[in-house]
Amino acid sequence: YELKKLKEYDARNRTELYKTLMTYILNERNTVATASDLYVGRSTLFYRLRKIKEITGLDNEHLARPIKNLYLRLSIFLMERG
């Protein structure tokens, strides 16, 4: 649900929040690796993560929960395949 919400937001606002969250999750919430992979500065990444929380309610605490993290990883996998 959260990922679909981000994709819709991105389509309306020409942002890359879905890609940011996907990269952040796949990088095990490592901000340095995520910023590097996205070619953005850390302040831009932190801004995007705050925006993601604002839109979806997801924050680092949610992403650290094993079940939620697994759910989001599986959702990313399914969304990227389809």
> Tell me: the pLDDT tens digits for 40-61?
999 999 999 999 999 999 888 8
pLDDT, the chain, mean: 92
Query: Domains, the chain, ranges and CATH?
Result: 2-81 (1.10.10.2840)
Residue of 56, 54, 34, 61 lying closest to 45 (CA atoms): 34
Torsion over CA of 71, 73, 79 and 82, rounded to 10 degrees? Answer: -110
pTM (two decimals): 0.88
Query: Of 21-25, 54-58, 69-73, where does mean pLDDT reach its minimum?
Result: 69-73
